[in-house]
Structure 1
Amino acid sequence: MLNLLAEQASAGGSMMLMVVYIVIIGGAMYFFAIRPQKKEQKRMAALLAAMEVGDTVVTTSGFYGVVIDITDEDCIVEFGSNKNCRIPMKKAAIAEVEKPGQE
């Protein structure tokens, strides 16, 4: 009888150990996946909020252009040396912003 109780107690201990492992893995996933992603989203939001007319941008498709007009959700970007190529696009399509004096 005592032997049976000892086996049940050790099974409960292994269950507790499994719960601890799940918590540790969940914490590691948070610190290695979710937290850096949220930090990058905040950085991009600040970058897009600071975007001004005249800034050089790189789109998510790799095109370089100059911002010529900005609204709340959209911006108009001028591409290439031909000053007639103006394309309206969502701010979410901007990957990088470079100020005119930066290098």
Structure 2
Amino acid sequence: MLFVPLLLDGSTTILPSSGDAATTTSTSGNIFGSFASSNPVMLIVLYCILLVGVMYFLSVRPNQKREKQLAELRSSIDVGDSIITNSGMFGKVVDITYESFIIEFGLNKGVRVPVLKGEVLGKREPNLSNEAPVPVEQPKKKKSLFRRNEE
């Protein structure tokens, strides 16, 4: 049990004395001070809490923002808008209910299908011509330290 505080404290120095090795510890080098040497279990708990916090800000929070943007987009869809579903089908909204859109698919005006609001990806007009769309020029990316510049 004597070695646990020695491993946690990075500023531990061992000074030789009369035949026995004496240890002197300094808590100024450790970010948690004497807390880490007195209770190593709490240090592990703090590391776990820190890890959960980092995971929240790197994965959960961006997903919440994306879902909020999709919800705003879906609430802005009105009757007559052209939409695309998650399955890639284009249609035109003819009616809106509480939980679904009534959509006409294709050129046949009699085919009306209710689609849940969560299955609508967004507003988009289909490209019915055989010509490819003109590519939009992307702004040049800054050179980074770890990525090669592809031109």
Q: TM-score, normalised by structure 1?
A: 0.77
Paired residue total: 94
Alignment equivalent of 1:35, drawn from 41, 61, 79? 61
Q: In the TM superposition, what is the alpha-carbon distance from 1:85 to its structure 2 partner? A: 1.8
What letter is aligned with 1:87? Answer: V
Higher RCO, Cα 8 Å, sep 6+: 1
Alignment equivalent of 2:80, drawn from 28, 49, 54? 54
Spell out the pairing of 1:1-103 with structure 2 (5 A cutoff).
7=2, 10=5, 12-98=38-124
What letter is aligned with 1:19? Answer: V
Inter-partner Cα distance in structure 2 for 1:95 and 1:61 = 9
SS at match of 1:58: strand
Q: In the TM superposition, what is the alpha-carbon distance from 1:13 to its structure 2 partner? A: 5.0
Q: In the TM superposition, what is the alpha-carbon distance from 1:84 to its structure 2 partner? A: 1.8
Higher helix share: 1
Alignment RMSD? 2.2
Overall identity of the aligned pairs, in %: 37
What letter is aligned with 1:43? Answer: Q
Q: In the TM superposition, what is the alpha-carbon distance from 1:8 to its structure 2 partner? A: 7.5
Inter-partner Cα distance in structure 2 for 1:71 and 1:49 = 12
SS at match of 2:93: strand
Larger radius of gyration: 2
Q: Which runs of 4+ in 1 moved over 6 A?
A: none
Inter-partner Cα distance in structure 1 for 2:114 and 2:41 = 57
What letter is aligned with 1:79? Answer: F
What letter is aligned with 2:47? Answer: Y
SS at match of 2:108: coil
Q: In the TM superposition, what is the alpha-carbon distance from 1:20 to its structure 2 partner? A: 2.7
Inter-partner Cα distance in structure 2 for 1:63 and 1:98 = 11
Q: In the TM superposition, what is the alpha-carbon distance from 1:63 to its structure 2 partner? A: 0.5
